[in-house]
Structure formats: structure tokens, C-alpha cells
Structure 1
Amino acid sequence: MSWKNDRIGAANRGENPMVLARMKSGFAVIGDTQFLPGYCVLLPSKGVNTLNDLTYKQRTDYLLDMSLIGDAIQEVCQPRRINFSIYGNTDAFLHAHIFPRYDWEPEERKPYPVWQYSPDMWRDSQYQYREEAHRELKEKLSQQLQQLMQKAYEE
């Protein structure tokens, strides 16, 4: 899985199989884990450390793209809300997490960030992205995102 060692470079080379769409600021990718179906990540087109390393225009494009991914997830997965987060503590490069949150989640999890889910949820093979289990979701998210980008980038 060498593409995982350089996700941004692999996306630019067309070798990252998780890519949903090329966007103005980078790449929308489906998350490695899908215990919250529709979880996505926005990777920048070039590796930078933080949002603050981008120009103002690049920041605007990045945050718009992040919100478009949220719109696509909302339309396809119908969650109760979307959570957006940018950290960079574990993987020290800019990337944004876009998490759908659902009514069916355990009550004790709903008010807290997804990072407080058990580590088992993040590693359990049943929740890892698998083409045979998640291809349809990936395709729907990609199609919806293409439609939203066309509309948003024309304005």
C-alpha cells in the first residue's frame, strides 16, 4: 500500500484509489474507515503544514471545497449533521476531516467528537473501506460532488 505513504503525491499521480474528485484546492477522498458511512477527507493539492500556509485565495478555495464535500455527504447519506475538523497532529500536513453524524449513533457518543469512539472502531476490519462493500457509496458521493462543484465553481 505504498500510496498510503504519500497520499497527496499518489492523488496527483492518479494512484490514490480513495479519490472521489479533483477539486480546486485538492482532492476529496473517502475515508479509510467507514463506521460513520460517508466519512471523507480533503487533501490539498500540494503538501503544506497548515491552513495558514496557504494564501488567502487558497484558503477560500480549500474551505469552500471542504463545505462542498459536506454538502455531498448530506445529500447522499442523509445524516443529522456534518462535523468538520482540521488538526494535523498525527499526520503533520494539512487535511480536513468531514464526518457525518447520525441519529442511530449511541446516545453517549452523539455530543462528543468522533475521536472519542473506541480505537477498535477505527481499526476493526469490518469498518475499513472495502471496494466490494463501499463502491456504491463512493460512486454516489463522487457523482454528487461533481454536480456540486459544477454549480459552485460557476458562481
Structure 2
Amino acid sequence: MSAPDPASAIIDFRTDPIGAARQGTNPTVLCRMRSGWAVIGNTQHLPGYCVLLYDGTADQLTDLPRPDRVTFMHDMVLLGEAVERACRAADPAFSRINYEVLGNLWPHLHGHIHARYQWEPDNLRIGPVDLYGRDREAPEHLLSARHDSLRDAIASALREILAEE
């Protein structure tokens, strides 16, 4: 009996989300976009949180040629539009979308799309999402089957938006 082919091993999306997306084994993938992969966040402390993962080698936006920067930012805006459509339909307290390109923790180009809501506490609603601290990763906020309908709505909205392009 021969050893399993390491190339056929399933990639863990928690340690290599892009490799798993390419392999088709990342369960958070919403859609392949021009610059990368739209994924729903592993935590949903603010329902609809998504990330655009750049599918290439870049630490920050300025690592890319200018046309590629524009493509990445355009994809972020389209993903944000999809999140807005889905979240506005799901929750009348939806307020706005916040966009962030940070890279401080994971040195790979990616953009965060945060849905914001009127029901957020006043002291947190008016500032960056980071003010929530570690509470964002509490077990009750982890992505699960209860988020399937919102995930499906975001993916559907994103497909519609991309079809308009």
C-alpha cells in the first residue's frame, strides 16, 4: 500500500484559507472574484462580516501594481454592496458598511467588510469594530449553521452584482 499523495491532502481553511479556497475545500467561500476570494467571516459578532482575500503574493496594497490595486478595491466595494443588500433585507436596524485594509495580524493583503447596526451599544457603534475587543471571538459569535441564510443571501447578492459588471 502506498502513502497518500500529500498534494491531494485537504487543506485546513483555518491555517491556509486561500489554499483551501483554490482547492475548493474552504467552507467560508462565497465567491471567486477578480482579485481573490470573498469569504464570510469565521466570527459573526456583527452579522454579515466578510473578508476579501487577495489571491496572490502581497502583504499590502502598495505591493500591487496600480491597476491591480484598483481591481482589489473595486472587488471590496462590490462585496460591501452585497453585504449591504443582504443585511439591510435581514435587519431593519442595519446602518452602514465599514471597510478596512489592515494586515497587522496576518501579513497578507485582505480587506474586511463590516456591517454596522443601530442596535450596537452607543460607545461601540460610533468607533472602529476593534473597540469590541476579544468579545468579537466569543463562542456564541462563531460562524455556524444559524448564519446559513445570511451567508446565502450575501452570496446571491454578490452573484447578482457581479453579473451586472
| Length-normalised TM-score, structure 2 | 0.87
Q: Secondary structure at the match of 1:72?
A: helix
The 8 Å contact of residues 45 and 137 in structure 2, kept in 1 or not, is answered as no
Which residue is equivalent to 2:97? 82
Counterparts of 2:56 and 2:26, CA distance in 1 = 14
Structure 2 regions of 5+ residues with no counterpart?
1-10, 89-93
The 8 Å contact of residues 8 and 47 in structure 1, kept in 2 or not, is answered as no
Q: 1:102 aligns with which of 117, 121, 127?
A: 117
Counterparts of 2:81 and 2:112, CA distance in 1 = 14
Of stretches 30-39 and 50-59 in structure 1, the one that deviates more from structure 2 is 50-59
Q: 2:19 aligns with which of 6, 9, 12?
A: 9
Residue 154 (structure 2) pairs with residue 141 (structure 1): yes
Larger Rg: 2
Query: Identical aligned pairs, as a percentage?
Result: 39
Q: Secondary structure at the match of 1:59?
A: helix
Distance 1:101 1:109, change over 3 A: same
Q: 2:79 aligns with which of 69, 79, 89?
A: 69
What per-residue deviation string (whole Å, max 9, x for no partner) do you get for residues 129-151 of structure 1?
01x21111111100100010111
Counterparts of 1:99 and 1:123, CA distance in 2 = 14
Counterparts of 1:34 and 1:82, CA distance in 2 = 14
Counterparts of 1:19 and 1:135, CA distance in 2 = 12
Which residue is equivalent to 1:54? 64
Residue 139 (structure 2) pairs with residue 125 (structure 1): yes
Q: Secondary structure at the match of 1:108?
A: helix
Of stretches 54-63 and 137-146 in structure 1, the one that deviates more from structure 2 is 54-63
| Displacement after TM superposition at 1:87 (Å) | 0.7
| Displacement after TM superposition at 1:91 (Å) | 0.7
Which residue is equivalent to 1:33? 43
Misfit runs of 4+, over 3 Å: none
Q: 1:93 aligns with which of 98, 108, 119?
A: 108
Aligned residues: 150
